[in-house]
Homo-oligomer: A and B are copies of this chain.
Amino acid sequence: MMYLTRRERFCSAHRLFREEWDDKKNLEVFGKCSHKNWHGHNYFLYVTVKGKLNPETGFVVNIKRLSTIIKEKVIENLDHRNINIDVDFMQGKIASTENLAIGIWEQLKPSIEALGIELHCVKIQETENNFVEYFGN
């Protein structure tokens, strides 16, 4: 078993809030991340897949192909967009890094499994101090 990781990047706006809460309550729970006019991040996305080596290529998977899948399924939807407003798979969810990781996992899983390999981990780095990792359950 070999683990292969591809890093991609996206720059998005978002805000953390619950519509049914007033501004004061949102501020109390989410702090400055609830600011009503949005803020944003340079997100780093690390997608780790695992599988056996293809003896013909010495690859788990062609990393260009993996990169193309991540770009088509995830980056094109997120980059230079507003996570709360523009991203289908985040509708009705709080735009936390945790929920984003789950959403990205679900976007990627079918296409990656179709390659005959497993999706192992989705890691999202929001700032140099914060990141989350999701392993699918």
Contact = CB atoms under 8 A, between A and B. Distances in A.
Interface of A: 1-9, 11-14, 16, 18, 29-33, 35, 37-42, 48, 53, 56-60, 62-64, 67, 79-82, 85-86, 93-96, 98-99, 101-102, 127-135, 137
A4 to B, nearest CB: 5
Contact of A14 (B14, B40, B81, B95): B40
A5 B67 CA distance: 25
B11 A60 contact: no
B128 A7 contact: yes
Contact of A42 (B33, B42, B48, B60): B42
B131 A5 contact: yes
Contact of A37 (B13, B18, B35, B41): B13
Given A98-B59, A129-B7, A12 B30 contact: no
A62 to B, nearest CB: 8
